[in-house]
């Protein structure tokens, strides 16, 4: 069973904790991670872009001029796409950007992403995040003590406004709940920092 170092709020290792091998030492499947990230990004698209075709343009029911005798090209309606103000021939229509991905593949992708962070030494477990009040300086100091000098994803077990507000002004730091952990966020941020309780919740929700 693999072990992870447990750090205190001073950035010092105080213990070694056992973690699930199936979750943190799984085979790294690059293809599954890529597909999961693309799928998740696609689901964020609203798909509400829309244009009106010639049948949805108001007016234009009669011919703009007679068929013959004017010397001009024949036209049947000003709603035609070749007219200014007419309909759009091949414009976007509302659609659903929700590609399907098997549940087993989604789980495999998440396990791969977590295992990849462990193999790179970029998954850190902290005893707990203790914030009596929101303070960005304290959060920045904690991350510095943990040698997290670039982007970081903070994972907590339950909503805590003091933690969330302390992290939200840091430009490359995001806070997320353990049950909402996902492949795209794990891949987007360089470091993954979990509280001990959040780690337990991740194993309960995604392990096995």
Same domain flag for 56 and 130: no
Mean pLDDT confidence for 90-113: 94
Same domain flag for 69 and 144: no
Same domain flag for 65 and 39: no
Beta bridge partners of 126: 7, 195
> Structurally, how many domains does the chain consist of?
2
Same domain flag for 165 and 189: yes
Residues 203, 23: Cα–Cα separation, whole Å: 7
The pLDDT confidence band at residue 127, using thresholds 50, 70 and 90, is very high
Same domain flag for 163 and 78: no
Same domain flag for 155 and 62: no
Q: 73 exposed, middle or buried (CB, 10 Å; 0-12, 13-18, 19+)?
A: exposed
> What is the number of helices (H) and of strands (E) in the chain?
7, 6
Same domain flag for 128 and 163: yes
- CATH number at 118 reads 3.40.1370.10
Q: Which of 127, 151, 175, 132 is nearest to 11 (CA)?
A: 127
Same domain flag for 41 and 55: no
pLDDT for the residue numbered 61? 86
Stated pTM of the model: 0.82
Same domain flag for 10 and 77: no
pLDDT for the residue numbered 39? 95
Same domain flag for 80 and 163: no
Model confidence at 208: pLDDT above 80? no
The residue range of the domain holding 80 is 49-96
């Amino acid at each position: 069973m693999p072990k992870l170092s447990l750090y205190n709020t001073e950035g010092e290792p105080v213990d070694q904790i056992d973690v699930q091998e199936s979750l943190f030492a799984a085979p790294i499947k690059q293809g599954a991670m890529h597909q999961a990230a693309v799928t998740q990004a696609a689901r964020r698209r609203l798909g509400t872009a829309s244009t009106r075709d010639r049948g949805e343009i108001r007016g234009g029911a009669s011919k703009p001029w007679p068929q013959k005798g004017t010397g001009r090209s024949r036209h049947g309606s000003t709603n035609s796409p070749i007219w200014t103000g007419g309909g759009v021939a091949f414009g976007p229509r509302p659609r659903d950007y929700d590609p399907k991905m098997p549940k087993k593949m989604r789980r495999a992708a998440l396990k791969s992403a977590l295992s990849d962070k462990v193999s790179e030494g970029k998954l850190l477990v902290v005893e707990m995040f203790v914030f009596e009040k929101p303070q960005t300086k304290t959060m920045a100091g904690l991350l510095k003590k943990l040698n997290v000098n670039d982007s970081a994803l903070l994972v907590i077990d339950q909503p805590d406004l003091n933690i969330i507000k302390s992290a939200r002004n840091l430009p490359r730091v995001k806070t997320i709940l353990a049950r909402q952990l996902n492949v795209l966020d794990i891949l987007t941020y360089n470091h993954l920092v979990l509280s001990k309780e959040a780690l337990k919740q991740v194993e309960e929700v995604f392990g096995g």
